[in-house]
Amino acid sequence: MRARLFLLVSLLLSLGSCKTKEALAPRCANAGALVKQVKNANGVVYYDSAQSSYFIRVPNSFDSHDLGYTCNLASNYQKTGLKVNFSGTYYQSDKQLGFVAGDKNYYLSLLSIQEQ
């Protein structure tokens, strides 16, 4: 009887102490501090010729967007105007560019991506 009670208490304690961790995408080389993680976000791929880099633009409002400069965008997604659904991690960026005053620039490490 004591053995069963001990097993039950041990099981409950071990279940209560489990914490799930979200997987982080590989960090971009020049990335700053972690800003946020996104799951199933919708955006559009663009190419910034001044930076020689692709980014995914995600609208926040009419005049505000997150621009995630990707460091691991697969070549089959490197198409300007391509609508995508993705998950990944945004990091602080040293890029001070923006196409609209409300744009925020980040480095974006992708965990997953698919065409919409």
Phi, psi of 79, rounded to the nearest 5 degrees: -135, 115
In whole angstroms, give the CA distance from residue 18 to residue 14.
Answer: 7
Sketch the domain layout of the chain as residue ranges.
Answer: 23-115
Q: Which two tokens stand for residue 103?
A: 């744009």
Which pLDDT score, from 0 to 100, does residue 27 have?
Answer: 74
pLDDT < 70 regions, the chain: 1-26, 95-100
Angle CA 116–111–108, to nearest 5: 90
Distant-in-sequence, close-in-space partners of 65: CB < 8 Å, separation ≥ 6: 57, 58, 59, 99, 100, 102, 103, 104
Quick one: fold of 23-115?
A: OB fold (Dihydrolipoamide Acetyltransferase, E2P) (2.40.50)
pLDDT digits (tens, 9 = 90+) for 42-67: 999 999 998 889 999 999 888 889 99
